[in-house]
Structure 1
């Protein structure tokens, strides 16, 4: 026999908090289940909002996915910058230090890889969602290129591309292997790449 509490409908979310509640629910479900597997009806039910309220803020599912990716961008970019800054003011040290964010991410409960790589795999080239994933990766690479340039790298473009490939590879390996040690290996490889890029031949 079930208790009355177990059959009660979920409490309605106040209108002023509805958008953030929808987005927080989507953030959790999209990352855990995938963009297509997490259905609108489930997100509405778990958010505790009316269907009309949901569509007021997100007329189409793609609008919600883009808002989710924007939120992920803010979180992940913030973690990368914080890890870099924690390594000190030296740009070369920051290029290596940013990989600490990768190590932390891979050790997190429920880790399922890079949300942007996952989104790209579920979206067709030329769509708004795919374009947003590409833009995110370009922004990260541009930031790393700036650090490489300030560090005095011989070829900042090449170093930035190499480091972002390592970063993305570590994000993927962390979920495929289920071994956070992949992130440490990526960080070690990054240190070698940075050192080599700064080495001057006589």
Structure 2
């Protein structure tokens, strides 16, 4: 059976089985929120467990009750960021699988929306991949899964729009998005988001037009 775009949007970017449901824990959320802020602002390697404990105001026992290691915390941080992105794109797409062009717009706009916040330091997944080259490390593994999910959703939307080589055009678009994320961190131009959206729409329109011409 062919997977619909909406099913792909709802699917977690993970090959692992879902973890058992836990009761909400204020301490866990405080640890995760603190770690997320520190990891993003200062880099994952630069932030140790002791720093997270101090700023989150929790004991070591409490920390290890929720996260058996720093690697487990890193994985949870990146999965939470990925969940947020998927929820935002799915909310724009809506409950009916009917508007793939709007989904493509949403994939681009999430980057611009993130950049509009204070303290933007680029894409958290790109940053994590730059810090961890080992493919077996959770930071790298979750980043690859998230990238794969974005590739699948983008490709599926392009397929529904009738492009004959949707995955190739999806690669071009995601390369542009990654480059824009890096540029947003390094460049100080106020119009970077606007320039990126112009480029995204131009590449998308040209790619779709070329696809139609090849038919």
Q: Which has the larger radius of gyration?
A: 1
Determine if the TM-score, normalized by the shorter chain, exceeds 0.5: yes
- Which position in structure 2 is the counterpart of 1:31? 40
* 1:104 positional shift: 1.4
Q: Aligned Cα RMSD in Å?
A: 2.1
Q: Distance in 2 between matches of 1:101 and 1:22?
A: 25
Q: In the aligned structure 1, how far is the partner of 2:66 from the partner of 2:147?
A: 27
2:155 aligns to what? 145
Quote the residue 1:60 is aligned against: 69
Mark the CA change 1:181 to 1:78 in structure 2 (over 3 Å): closer, same or farther.
farther
Larger RCO, structures 1/2 (Cα 8 Å, 6+ apart): 2
Aligned to 2:213: 201
* TM-score between both structures, scaled by the size of structure 2: 0.79
| Residues 23 and 68, structure 1, Cα contact 8 Å, conserved in 2 | yes
Q: Describe the SS at the equivalent of 2:204.
A: helix
Q: Distance in 2 between matches of 1:124 and 1:153?
A: 34
Range moving further from structure 2, 126-135 or 35-44: 126-135
Q: Give the Cα separation in 1 of the matches to 2:148 and 2:122.
A: 18
Q: Any stretches of 5+ residues in structure 2 without a counterpart?
A: 1-23
Q: Contact 1:96 / 1:194 at 8 angstroms: preserved in 2?
A: no
Match of residue 116, structure 2, among 91, 107, 117? 107
TM-score normalized with structure 1 length: 0.83
Contact 1:95/1:147 (<8 A) preserved: yes
